[in-house]
Amino acid sequence: SGDWLIVTRTYIVEGMKNERSVRRIERALFRVDNISYEINLEKNTVVIHFSNRVDDDKVIGAISRAGYRAMRL
């Protein structure tokens, strides 16, 4: 069948303090294929919806390149 299995993972992001941080993380995640995301500044979390293969390293690496440390919850 052609059904997509969506897998959702939550990451905690250290150092995300303001809207500027959010924009930097958004720009980094925009380059990662086959995901959608929600960033919650108050909780310091990023929720990722993977529509293909789940790849923690790709997400953590993108956030790291933006200058922040991410860990999976």
d(C-alpha 9, C-alpha 18), whole Å: 22
Amino acid making up residue 35: I
CA angle 4, 9, 11 (to 5 degrees): 150
- Under the banding of pLDDT at 50, 70 and 90, the label for residue 3 is low
- Tell me what the pLDDT averaged over the chain comes to: 93
Q: To the nearest whole percent, how much of the chain has pLDDT over 90?
A: 86
Structure tokens at 52: 């293909």
Q: What is the mean pLDDT of residues 22-34?
A: 96
- Under the banding of pLDDT at 50, 70 and 90, the label for residue 40 is very high
Does 17 score more than 90 pLDDT?
Answer: yes
Q: What is the mean pLDDT of residues 32-40?
A: 95
